[in-house]
Structure 1
């Protein structure tokens, strides 16, 4: 069976994602589509609007055959490490192709950019370091360095765009394997990643869908035209079952308590806390009245909203630097969240050839390897009221992989 891998968050699964799944299957003539999906906390340092189990169900009902979890050590990370974990898992699952959405839409642009950077590696790295010293953010330094060095080359790719950045790092990681997957990219349609308003009648960004959901008092009325019916059903079922959708404001009291009670020396040991920003975080935690207010006070030119959000997630989960450095070097396991009948057949075909443990429950792997994922899920459940908190808390241990029979 021929397989194609996707790297996703599905926060939530919308019509653009459906197009991506269908187009990836068609372009690669795949029998199986595999999604490696972030868990309950996401790459930009946000809690997912609904749990990983509900988002996996959305994907399976909409055409994905297998959903596996991207571990916390790779999921809540900057682009290079996020890409490394995702591509390594898809490679371990024997994918023939991987397909990603991008603002570019031209795979040759990514290949050319990688070749150029390999040829001018020293100049590129020097430029990035010099720009960082001026106080700009790391993503901005990357983009500006690329434009500066490669301005004489035809149509250099725009590495200021979020999906182009990720695609570039996917390609770089994939090229390190002896037998790399074949890469395919699909141009994003209608809506850009950060769009907060609806841009067309059927396609909208996940950002705008979440914004509309919370602005309508957590109602899904008004987003139905932008998501498959299966997504609407799962969103409504989740709200009925847990009485809320998740966003940062649910977790602000816990984050504020952590910041006010932790010693600065201990805070400095949390992953991504560096250059004395712990002082700024603690100072503004005293006066902020909401998470959004806190972020507005803390963000700077150097420390982007996304980077600070990731810091906040690591503070909430008490993830220390030595822990993260230990776990993000290698993919130590692959956790199966769900599959269709077609996906089950594929896993049976390849399971003897998978070099990384494929697990279906947390008890099947040593605690020290999966402790970050368990801790993240436990913290995610704290945003709920009882008895819903215990219900979601226990799902981390009791929920078997989802199995969709009729796909």
Structure 2
């Protein structure tokens, strides 16, 4: 069986994601699609709208055959580390191709950009520094440097999905993976769009904003009915959707009880940021106002949001030292499989290069413990006894199994 891979967050799964999965199957001719998906917290330092288990069900009903978790140590990092961790899992699972969405839509510029980096690294770094001194953002400086060095209109690395696509391609080369990168162009909606692009296509950002301020039914046109059902069931069960404001009182408590020296040990606390956070938290009345008070041109919203997340989970610099220097994952945790995915795993499991976890009872690793801690924080806002039940489920849950022929979970 041939497998192709995708790297996803599904926050939540929408029509654009369904298109991506279908096109991945079409252009790779794969028998199974493996989705490496972020767990409780995401690359921009945000809590997922609903749990990874609910999002796994969305993914399986939406066309994915295998869902594996991208550990917290990779899922909440800068694009390069995020991409490298995901690629290592796909490679270990035997995916022959990876297909990512991009603003560009053609793979040649990604291959060219990686080649330029490998051949002209010093010249490229000098060009990036020059453009940064001109006062532009790092993504724009990077994009301008590539255009300058390559001598033609290069890949626009100021676009979020192009950036990730570049790092997926880069990771394949650096890890000597046999995977072949392919890309499809994103449909109408752009990553940061806050309004629906069309009646059927919208960005996850706009969908989350809409869900938080309106009823689920008003977003029914841009998501599969299965996604709507899982979102509705989650809200009926727990009485909420997860978002930063729900965690703000916990974050404020953490910061108000930490000294500058303690905060300095938290991952990504650099250049005196501990003093900025401790000074601003005292008068902040919401997560939004807190973020607005600490954001600067030098420190982006995403950069600071990830730092706040590491404060919330008490993730230290010492703990992050367990991430391998190659930025590759040390294990594969399966979250769910279709019947086709289960057949693929059965065929491959004896030859996998990483430990395959179907539960957590017989395996231990510092990064897995970090995943458990992140899940504990994620579920901390739930009322009892639902909180304890969710924590227990997260620890003992075996991969979700989905029968795509009968359209039911086993």
The TM tier, using the shorter chain, reads over 0.9
Given candidates 330, 334, 337, the residue that maps to 1:336 is: 334
Distance 1:296 1:34 in 2: 38
Q: Does 1:244 align with 2:240?
A: yes
Spell out structure 1 runs of 4+ moving beyond 3 A: 127-141, 147-150
Is the 1:73–1:328 Cα contact (8 Å) retained in structure 2? no
Helix, strand or coil: the match of 2:290?
helix
Distance 1:138 1:363 in 2: 43
RMSD, matched Cα: 1.5
323-332 or 138-147, which moves further after superposition? 138-147
* Residue equivalent to 1:2: 2
Distance apart, 1:148 and its partner CA = 4.1
Distance 1:363 1:67 in 2: 20
* Residue equivalent to 1:231: 227
5 Å matches for 1:140-159?
140-150=140-150, 152-153=151-152, 155-159=153-157
Is the 1:79–1:166 Cα contact (8 Å) retained in structure 2? yes
* Residue equivalent to 1:296: 292
Unmatched segments (≥5 aa) in structure 2:
406-410
Distance apart, 1:369 and its partner CA = 4.0
Show CA shifts across 1:151-178 (max 9, x none): x32x301000000000000001101244
* Residue equivalent to 2:257: 261
Distance 2:143 2:277 in 1: 27
Change (3 A) 1:383 1:144: farther
Distance apart, 1:196 and its partner CA = 0.4
Distance 2:93 2:13 in 1: 23
Helix, strand or coil: the match of 1:68?
strand
* Residue equivalent to 2:45: 45
Change (3 A) 1:204 1:297: same
Helix, strand or coil: the match of 1:292?
helix
Is the 1:136–1:302 Cα contact (8 Å) retained in structure 2? no
Distance 1:272 1:48 in 2: 21
* Residue equivalent to 1:371: 369
Distance 2:184 2:285 in 1: 41
Q: Does 1:174 align with 2:172?
A: yes
Q: Does 1:324 align with 2:287?
A: no
Distance apart, 1:128 and its partner CA = 3.4
Distance 1:372 1:133 in 2: 38
* Residue equivalent to 1:123: 123
Q: Does 1:209 align with 2:211?
A: no
Is the 2:322–2:367 Cα contact (8 Å) retained in structure 1? no
* Residue equivalent to 2:35: 35
Show CA shifts across 1:53-103 (max 9, x none): 000110001110000000011100001100110001000000011100000
Is the 1:36–1:86 Cα contact (8 Å) retained in structure 2? yes
* Residue equivalent to 2:79: 79
Unmatched segments (≥5 aa) in structure 1:
none
Show CA shifts across 1:316-369 (max 9, x none): 111111211222533111000000110000000010110100001122211534
Q: Does 1:93 align with 2:93?
A: yes
Is the 2:58–2:227 Cα contact (8 Å) retained in structure 1? yes
Is the 1:16–1:189 Cα contact (8 Å) retained in structure 2? yes
Distance 1:47 1:369 in 2: 18
Distance 2:399 2:352 in 1: 18
TM-score (norm 1): 0.96
Helix, strand or coil: the match of 2:142?
helix
* Residue equivalent to 1:385: 383
TM-score (norm 2): 0.95
* Residue equivalent to 2:408: none
Distance 2:305 2:314 in 1: 14
Change (3 A) 1:179 1:375: closer
Helix, strand or coil: the match of 1:175?
helix
Change (3 A) 1:372 1:129: farther
Change (3 A) 1:108 1:364: same
